[in-house]
Every structure is written in C-alpha cells, then in structure tokens.
Structure 1
C-alpha cells in the first residue's frame, strides 16, 4: 500500500477542517481585519514551486514603475526568527535570509525601494508598518503567500497554479499538495496559470480552472541572467556544462529554465525545499563539479539562502558558481492584470 493511500484519512480530515474554516470566514463568524492601505495578495492553493515569488517581484516592479510606493509583507518561510521583523526600510536591507527567509531576502534585494516586513500574522505585520512608517506610508501592500491567511481583507486576491504539475491538485495535504479544496479558487479574483511548457498538455487543467469562473492568465517562466556569485562579469556563458543544484519545490522547472538559457546540465543535486545548506553538502557539490569538469549553478533563491553564510558563499565563489535569475512571461496579455492592480488603488485615493 502506497504512503499516499495510507495518508488519505488524514487528508480527508484536513480537507474538512479547511472547508469548515473557510465557511466560518465566509459567514463572518471568523472576522477579517481591513487595512487602511489597499492590499494585494499573491498565493497558492498548493505547497511550493508554482512561480509565486517571481510574480510578486513583477507586481512590485509594476507598481514602482507606476510611481506607487510599495510594501511587501511575507510570512518569511524558513527563517529562524519569529514575530514581526523589518527586513528592509526601503532604503537599506537590515537582515539576511536567516532572519527573513530566502524568498523574502531575495525580494528585498531585487526591490531596494520597497519596505519589506516578515510576520506570521499579516495583520500584525501591516499594523507594524502603519506605526513604523506613519510619515511615509506606501500606496499599496503586497502580501506574499497569503491566500489561506484570511485574517486580513485583501482588495485583490491572486492565486498561482503550476501548469507543469497537475497531479498536485489531486489530493489534500498530507497525501498530496493541496492546501485546501480546489473549490477555494472561487475566492480568488484572478488565477495565474504558470510554468506552462507544453500548452497541449496544460489544456485539460486550464479547462478545469476556468470552470470556477475567475479570469485565468496563462504564463511561463522565462530565464533571465546567469550571474557569477563572486560579483565578476558573466560573459560567453552559452553552452556552459553545469552541475545544477537547488533546494526548491519544483526542480524540474529550474532544469527547464537552464535548458532554455542554453546551459547543458550534466549532473544534478537536489535538496528539500528551503533546506539549509551544510558545509558537507556544499563541499560535495564543489568536489563533484571539479571532478566532472562542470560549473555549479543554482537558483537565485538558493543563492540568497547560501549567501547569509560567508564561509559557504566563499567556497562557491572560489568554485566559479553562478545562479540563474527568472521572471514571468505572460502568454496572454497582461492588460487585465495591470488593470486589476491599478484598480485597487482607487480605494486608497
């Protein structure tokens, strides 16, 4: 009997608990707090690996390019701290990935003008923001990974669904990867159908998502720059032979991005999502790369997790390690998404 079969009773109980919780919020028995500042939430209905973080980055950059000061409030998954922590005040970064979480640290570095806060309780995070930055409040708050965090009202609810892993939608946690029953998508305002690599294979799941009545925007992940971790300029990187390593939710997507970037992957080493890197693991990656004549390449998110440890970062810099940046590419026009993003600002006007 498979482990998934053994876990089905627990998954059924979890699904019932999440359904009951949602009904209590829907009926107003559980209360949600409304922020004085407009709120955009980006989240998942499954665990990890959907392409949510690149979308958050894109949204923050869209607002900043539109002249709207933006704040990010995230749970800070994988951090060693608890409670509310200020990651960036929009002028300087105050803590690294150990205290902020790797995804949040990366978002802070990629958006130096944004205020970035981590808080398990997003209400407490936003209230901290209101007190701490009363003299320069942002025009909008982007909640990272908050679809199930119903303690706070959102003006726009975006859910990202991974097109490359349809089986993730087959079962609830812990038997599968669903965080709540699929019908929860009714609460969303927009579904981003991400990581499409084969439109024909993705078509059945796309049809399933459209049954919920929300607009669905198709997207894929586009490789960006290959960056040397020692800070030196990266040139002539096409056809590089690599050992790809990562601790992410969907490593197949990383491999696809490397292939699209023209990188030839000769070996791989994968770890659990958000797993902390040990010196033994890094030395093993470096040794195997040297033995096979390969260049170690990782994800940007993994690099931010490693960079907080100067010793590990130094080892990889000396080994010529690179990381690959990624960004969302919208197959459909992004005009509807942009209209929705600008529409939430009318409440704060």
Structure 2
C-alpha cells in the first residue's frame, strides 16, 4: 500500500509543473527525485557515449531491424504500433520477429500474442534481445535479401493483416525484426528508428526520470527517422500545430512526422472473452457487442494504463451519458480490494444516476493481466473495449512512410545499407 502511494506520488510529480500545488509527500520527494534524475542523466549520457564512439559495440542482425520506442514513460502507443507494423509486413508476406522485454508481468507481450495468433509472426520475450533474435533466426531461418526485396514491393499501409490468407502466405522464415520499446535498447543496432509521442501529455514537467517522465533528453529526438504523434485525434488542432512546430527544433529535416489514433472497434463481455481467451481477433462475430451499447449509459472507466485520459475521452465520444474514472498506475495488478472499491463506486453511480444503466469498461491490456478477477464484480456489467491503431496523416506523409519501410525491408544489411 505504501509502495503504491509512493509510485502514485512520483507519477503526479512527473505530470505537473513545479509551480503547481503539491501535497506534503510530493514536496518531500522532489529533492530526492531531482538527485536521482541527475544520476540517471549522467549514466544515460555515459552509456550512449560508449556506444557512439565504439567502446561498446551494438549487435547487428542479418535481417533489418525496426525499433519502436518512446522518449517518455507509458501511454505512447508503442505496442499498438508494433502490432500495426506487424500487420503491414504480414500483408506483404514478410514474417516479423517481435522482440519485447515482457515488462511488468508481460501484459503487452500477451496482447501481441493474442492479436497475432494464427499468423507466422514470432514473439521473443526477455531482456537479452540479441541472443533471443539469434536463437529464433537459427531455429526458423531467415528470408533472403532478394526475396525480401521482391516482397517489399507489395508492402501496403492499408493491409493490417486481418485476412488469415494474407497472414499465412509467408514461408515462416524471418524477414524483419521489430524491436518493441527499442529506443533505449542500445545493444541492438537498428535500421529504422520510430519514436512514439503522446500528443495529450507530451513531456509532462520536461524533467528526466524519476523527477519527470523523460527517459531521454528531447535532443535525442534527432535520432528519429519517423515520429508518431499518438492520440492526435484527442487534441485540439491548434495545440497539435503548436506541437509539430516545436518538434522541428529537435527533429532532423528528413524525419517523417505522422499522426495516429486509437479507433474503437467493438466491445466484449466477460463470457465471450473467456470463451475465446488467447484468440480475441478470431472471436465469432455474434459474441462481439456494438459500440452503441454504451450510448446513454453511465460508464465507469477503470484503467491501469499509461494514458487513462485517452480511454475516458474515447468513451465520451461513443455517446456515454456520463464517464467516471478510476485510474490506477500503468501495469497495475488488480487485487480483490481494488475490485471491492470498483463495486462500491458502481453502487454510488447507480444511486446518483437512478434509472440509467451503469457499466464498467476496461482496456484489453487491463483485462489480460488477470481475466478471472473481473468475475468478482457483482454490481455492474464488465465490458472490454477493443481498439486498433490507425494513421490519420495526409497521403503525402503516408506515402513517404511506405517508401521508407519498403527501403528498409529491401535493404542488404550485410552491406550496412537500409534506413537513412
């Protein structure tokens, strides 16, 4: 309990400017966090220096590597972007190997495994991603440069791998590696650097962790080949324009800036999800609930994700009469006491909004951590929102992205080509 309070205080500090009012606990933590941030900044600089000047050597794999990372902690859309990239590659017949840490119980790895089940995509989980990649390449083989080059010509940003026929047309040999949360993983060289930025929260108080949310200095954005402004649809156009203008001082001139959003597709109830656990994508159509199920309802948004604001804003747009939030820390493991609190909040909402239906809505990421625990909720129906990442930029930006991805998967990595 004490640990949870401290973590929550650190998150609040990171999200708020110094001049804003703080609790006594937060005020006492700030000097300690500032000292820890200075140490982190020094270690980060030293580590990067060692790799930049060849004192530490990054492993280069015999297939192209696409890194998807972020510059701040949590809620930036890394995992949905990894899934979307996988769908594009699968649609072209290029089999991706996804390398992920499996952080905090591995909920993101479980999500990827569920959504890509039935495809030839492969998932390697663990901290030593270079060794894991070597093992997979040895076991499954790799697509040749000439074969990848031919397949790359058919790569489309429209095909998200939803067709089982497209997903299975690959030969099972690995053609590309996707490095999930890769920006800080320097031991593995990459041919393309995609950086995800949360358009809602941006940089918080602009300080380095743990005093702030930054995992890197903003100047490290110069490494980005592609920068994706995630949740861009939930931000006012003027604010988005201002952000894009500000980014120009950090990005290279040839960097591609893309906007993305999470598009709600449908809902699941607990029985259908449990019947299809491990294969949400292939759940029968009749077990899915339409989004208008939430219209005029009172919704309790329960989330343990990096950006709970995005979930509640999406629910409001779906026509909910009222959206109440119960936010937990990212990767939170829900316990029986949490479920009791959620049940009590549902009772309160039923009293406040007499005559209206009260429902609980979760993200899939929150559900997969412990599917069975949600069975203990008795005062409201539990629904899970299934969403998918969609790029919402202009055709010119998307064409540039497709051209870059095609060049990367078509490159001869043995000659050090690929990327920019």
Do structure 1's residue 143 and structure 2's residue 148 form an aligned pair?
Answer: no
CA distance in 2, matches of 1:265, 1:6: 40
Distance 1:345 1:318, change over 3 A: farther
Q: Specify the alignment match of 1:66 in structure 2.
A: 92
**Over the residues paired in the alignment, what is the CA RMSD in angstroms?**
2.2
Do structure 1's residue 223 and structure 2's residue 230 form an aligned pair?
Answer: no
Distance 1:23 1:325, change over 3 A: same
Provide the secondary structure at the position in 1 that maps to 2:73: coil
TM-score of the superposed pair, with normalisation by structure 1: 0.86
Matches within 5 A, 1:86-105: 101-105=106-110
Q: Specify the alignment match of 2:24 in structure 1.
A: none
CA distance in 1, matches of 2:203, 2:95: 39
TM-score of the superposed pair, with normalisation by structure 2: 0.72
Deviation string for 1:157-185 (max 9, x for gaps)? 10001111134261101110100111111
Q: Specify the alignment match of 1:29 in structure 2.
A: 55
Deviation string for 1:130-188 (max 9, x for gaps)? 23323842211111111100101111110001111134261101110100111111222
Do structure 1's residue 13 and structure 2's residue 39 form an aligned pair?
Answer: yes
Residue pair 1:54, 1:326 contacting (<8 A) in 2 also: no
Q: Structure 1 segments of 4 or more deviating over 4 A?
A: 316-319
Provide the secondary structure at the position in 2 that maps to 1:166: coil
Residue pair 2:141, 2:174 contacting (<8 A) in 1 also: no
Do structure 1's residue 337 and structure 2's residue 401 form an aligned pair?
Answer: yes
Residue pair 1:172, 1:179 contacting (<8 A) in 2 also: yes
Do structure 1's residue 118 and structure 2's residue 125 form an aligned pair?
Answer: yes
CA distance in 2, matches of 1:260, 1:179: 32
Q: Specify the alignment match of 2:367 in structure 1.
A: 303
CA distance in 2, matches of 1:262, 1:28: 55
* Pairing partner for 1:109 from 108, 114, 125: 114
Deviation string for 1:196-220 (max 9, x for gaps)? 2212123333222222212211223
Do structure 1's residue 45 and structure 2's residue 81 form an aligned pair?
Answer: no
Quote how far apart the aligned CAs of 1:316 are: 5.0
User: Which is further off, 130-139 or 182-191?
Assistant: 130-139
Residue pair 2:374, 2:382 contacting (<8 A) in 1 also: no
Residue pair 1:243, 1:267 contacting (<8 A) in 2 also: yes
Q: Specify the alignment match of 1:314 in structure 2.
A: 375
Quote how far apart the aligned CAs of 1:335 are: 2.2
**Which has the larger share of helix?**
2
Q: Specify the alignment match of 1:172 in structure 2.
A: 208
Q: List alignment gaps of at least 5 residues for structure 1.
A: 80-100
Residue pair 1:4, 1:176 contacting (<8 A) in 2 also: no
Quote how far apart the aligned CAs of 1:325 are: 2.0
